[in-house]
Amino acid sequence: MKQLAATDIPEIDDLLHEPARLRLLACLAAVKRADFTFLLNLSGLSRGNLSVQMSKLSEAKLVSIEKTFRDNRPRTLYQLTKQGTDALRNYKRNMMTILSALPD
């Protein structure tokens, strides 16, 4: 009988597995792009927390940032990158594998 190796259990990406970041990524996966204020309203996070989480996602190149001005007000637009989409796909697949092994 083949022994189960550690690699047979899917790895979960810590960056995506954090609840606030996962919610933000899910929001961005549902739309084309959104600005800081929209994500702030939608996520219910504080400004500071949202800023920190988006910076982490941007550093990991999962999200792209575009800074613009509108009516003399700064506007930061966020969009899920191809890398972010792939990471979410991978995360979903791994989570499904793990969740399907759990008892009903």
Q: How far is the CB of 76 from other proteins (least distance, A)?
A: 4
Q: 70: how many CB neighbours lie within 10 A of its CB?
A: 8
User: Among residues 74 and 97, whose Cβ is nearest to other proteins?
Assistant: 74
Q: How far is the CB of 20 from other proteins (least distance, A)?
A: 16
User: Among residues 3 and 72, whose Cβ is nearest to other proteins?
Assistant: 72
Q: How far is the CB of 31 from other proteins (least distance, A)?
A: 5
Q: Residues in the site for other proteins, rule: CB under 8 A?
A: 26-42, 47, 51, 70-71, 73-77, 80, 85, 88-89, 92
Residues 57, 60, 62, 68: is their CA dihedral positive or negative? Answer: positive
Yes or no: say if 24 and 56 are a contact pair by the CB < 8 Å rule: no
User: Among residues 10 and 85, whose Cβ is nearest to other proteins?
Assistant: 85
| Cα–Cα distance for residue pair 16/21, rounded to 1 Å | 6
| Cα–Cα distance for residue pair 54/72, rounded to 1 Å | 23
